[in-house]
Amino acid sequence: MSNHGTRPRRRATATGALNLPAPIINNADDLHQNIDFPRRRTSPTFPPMQTEWNTPPAPAGLPTVLRPPRLAEPPPRTQTVPPVRSVPARGWRRLIWRLGCLVTRLVYRLRLDGRHHLPKSGGALLIANHLSLVDACILATATGRFVRFLMHESYCRTPLLGGLCRLLGVIPISSEQRPRDLIRSLRTATEAIRHGEWVCIFAEGQVSRTGQMLPFRRGFERIMEGVDAPIVPVCLESVWGSIFSFARRRFLWKLPQRIPYPVSVSFGRPLPPSATPAEVRQAVQELASDAWRHRKALMQPIHRAFVTTARRRPFRFAMGDPRTPRLNFLGALARTVYLARRLRPHWEGQEKVGILLPPSIGGALVNFAALLMGKGRANGVKH
């Protein structure tokens, strides 16, 4: 192709000339050797500032020019922080234990029986009945010694109560656990007894909803396998009816009958580690029958309790039968007073009276009328 009549093209070369003709390129090597590709711009570099530390020595005979000295950075201020003394877990446990016992004694007035049956040394398994949510606090206060309790796993999962349970050495257990976890909990209790600790289990497995003792389960037999330690039966009496029991079909949401609330704790004779659930339950029942005398001193006669309840809760359900499905305390008290006035002339001069009536509202009201007049009574059933 001819370049005649056209202006020659100017190209940049390695020498930087603009008027030279374009070089002849035969291969790729000539391309890289003859063409100066544009380079990427770089930030300018400045020589380092010379100071008295990096200034080279001046030649002999020339004055040395010193740069102004660099100001030294002030040393950092050191703040003296007092060391934080961490309280060990055993100290926290002792503190929480004493606070719990103090609060329990403020709310409950404990009466202790058979405390001499507790072992002086070594481990033991305490088996008690279960009537309220604070049975563990009552029993711990009554023993006066650190006791590890077996508690349902759901309580140990709550944020606040779970931390307290771990700190106090509570052993979580539940029938819904996997067999491996259940065996681990029972082995933990066994090892605690072998190391000389006291372990308590509520053999009923749940809080009583009726105030009556439920059948004992067989879990504690697995705990006592291969352990040479006694089983101490414990009976909690008069706890039913307190705030934390299921009396009146609810927990907590009821007014206390009295403060401090009287509670009786009885310890029975130690049983061998091979005792069966029936034997332990029988021992606890015997303790409950012996502790009844403490409750009897605090109870009112039935006719006085009837009048007191009628004055406090007049419209509460009192009794019923097929003819009268519902009768409140106010109506029952009014009918009792009416019957007592009508029967007074017939029972005058008699210390004891006989009543032969079918089990009904009428029979109950006649009995209350006889009690209000101070008469002894003998009941017969009329079919």
CA distance 145 to 198: 8
Is it the case that residue 156 has pLDDT exceeding 60? yes
pLDDT (0 to 100) of residue 260: 87
Mean pLDDT of 252-257: 77
Mean of pLDDT over the chain: 79
CA distance 97 to 158: 19
* DSSP H or E run through 172: strand 171-173
Q: Which residue has the tokens 């059948």?
A: 215
Mean pLDDT comparison of 45-59, 89-103, 200-214, 290-304, highest-scoring range? 200-214
pLDDT (0 to 100) of residue 301: 87
CA distance 117 to 97: 23
Angle at 198 between CA 225 and CA 138, to 5 degrees: 125
Is it the case that residue 32 has pLDDT exceeding 60? no
pLDDT (0 to 100) of residue 59: 55
pLDDT in tens, 215-246: 999 889 999 988 999 999 999 988 888 888 88
Q: State the burial class of residue 13 (Cβ atoms within 10 Å of its Cβ: 0-12, 13-18, 19+).
A: middle
pLDDT in tens, 330-371: 999 999 999 999 999 999 888 889 998 888 999 999 999 999
For residues 41 and 227, the model is more confident at 227
Confidence of residue 318 (pLDDT cuts 50, 70, 90): very high
205-224 burial, b if ≥16 CB within 10 A, otherwise e? bebbeeeebbebeebbbebb
DSSP code string of 173-215: E-TTS-HHHHHHHHHHHHHHHHTT-EEEEETTSS--SSSSPPP
Q: State the burial class of residue 322 (Cβ atoms within 10 Å of its Cβ: 0-12, 13-18, 19+).
A: exposed
Q: How far is CA 341 from the centre of its chain?
A: 57
DSSP code string of 268-304: ---B-TT--HHHHHHHHHHHHHHTHHHHHTTPPPHHH
For residues 32 and 248, the model is more confident at 248
For residues 109 and 158, the model is more confident at 109
DSSP code string of 206-262: S--SSSSPPPPPSHHHHHTTT----EEEEEEES-TTSTTB-GGG-SS-S--SSSSEE
pLDDT (0 to 100) of residue 17: 44
pLDDT (0 to 100) of residue 83: 45
Instruction: Show the domains of the chain with their CATH numbers.
Output: 89-296 (3.40.1130.10), 302-380 (3.40.50.980)
Q: Name the β-bridge partners of 173.
A: 152
pLDDT (0 to 100) of residue 16: 44
Radius of gyration of the chain measured on its C-alpha atoms:
46
- What the block records as the tokens of 195 is 């190391």
pLDDT in tens, 161-210: 888 888 888 888 887 778 888 888 889 999 999 999 999 999 998 898 88
Angle between helices 329-347 and 361-372 (to 10 degrees): 60
What predicted TM-score, i.e. pTM, was given to this entire model?
0.63
107-132 burial, b if ≥16 CB within 10 A, otherwise e? bbebeebbeebbeeeebbbbbbbbbb
User: Which phi and psi angles does 101 have, rounded to 5°?
Assistant: -65, -35
Q: Would you say 46 and 53 are in contact if contact means Cβ atoms under 8 Å apart?
A: no
Confidence of residue 3 (pLDDT cuts 50, 70, 90): very low
pLDDT (0 to 100) of residue 127: 95
Contacts of 294 (CB under 8 A, 6+ apart): 111, 237, 238, 262, 264
Confidence of residue 15 (pLDDT cuts 50, 70, 90): very low
CA distance 192 to 175: 21
Cβ count near 239 (within 10 Å): 25
CA distance 45 to 50: 15
pLDDT in tens, 264-277: 999 999 999 999 99
pLDDT (0 to 100) of residue 298: 73
pLDDT (0 to 100) of residue 71: 52
**Cα dihedral 218→219→223→224 (10° resolution):** -10
For residues 96 and 329, the model is more confident at 329
